Amino acid sequence: MKDIIKAVIVDDVDSMRIVLKKLLGTFDKIQIIGEAADFEEARNIISEERPDLLFLDVDLNGLTSLDLLKTIGYQPMVIFITSHTDFAIKAFELNAVDYLLKPISLERLTKAIEKVTNKWEDTTFEDDYNAKFTADHIILLSFDNKMSFVRIKDINYIEAYGNYTKVNLVDGKLSVTYNSIKNWDTKLPEDLFIQIHRSTIVNLHNVTKIEKWANDTGRLYLKGIDKPFEISRNFFFQIKKKYKM
């Protein structure tokens, strides 16, 4: 278990970030590794640093930190610090550790940090974000602006979509996440998922047929989907090398 909880502060008010950093400096377990004043800055630093804990203001110059959480591709611990009371129910639906109203006191912040510490020590919260998922690992994805827990084995295939990826489930649901095919390939279990193209990863358990195609490429079919998926030449060679008897 890691001793230090790495945290990022997101608030569009400079003075609030300064006050919060000063208050958090009294907690030995909390290490502030970054801060952000707007949505894009926050998304970038969270994607780069993957902190364990986020201190989030709700309002980020027209966008909200609730929207932000839908784009980061994993589920850190979250403490909301805000002037808005009407987001509290939504925040706790997203499993926020706590919801603090401004202005905050050291006493109230201490109680929130105690909750974080207890969660950190008493659950199986991941120590290593580079560790691979298992088939039954649960992640949080967004579907039509609603967050839902999904088991890794229920992902059917993943497609690149610019700086995002489309995560297609076996039940037909679609989630768009701020992530890359490369990151997914690093995290997904190798015995369950395989990359068939620079832009596509599929669930091996749902493959019904693979066939040769032109120029040493291939085509792959998944259960319930009529249209075949292209297997690029390089990945087709790797698949045959790995799986052919």
Q: Does position 35 have pLDDT exceeding 90, yes or no?
A: yes
Burial class from Cβ neighbours inside 10 Å (0-12, 13-18, 19+) for residue 228 reads middle
**Sequence spans of domains, the chain:** 5-122, 140-243
pLDDT, mean of residues 178-190: 88
163 token code pair: 């700086």
The predicted model scores a pTM of 0.52
pLDDT digits (tens, 9 = 90+) for 74-114: 888 999 998 877 777 677 666 788 889 889 999 999 999 99
DSSP state of 63: E
Write the class of the CATH domain 5-122: alpha beta
Instruction: Flag whether pLDDT at 50 surpasses 80.
Output: yes
Q: DSSP per residue over 129-165, as a string? A: TTSPPPTT-EEEEEETTEEEEEEGGGEEEEEEETTEE
Third-level CATH fold of 140-243: OB fold (Dihydrolipoamide Acetyltransferase, E2P) (2.40.50)
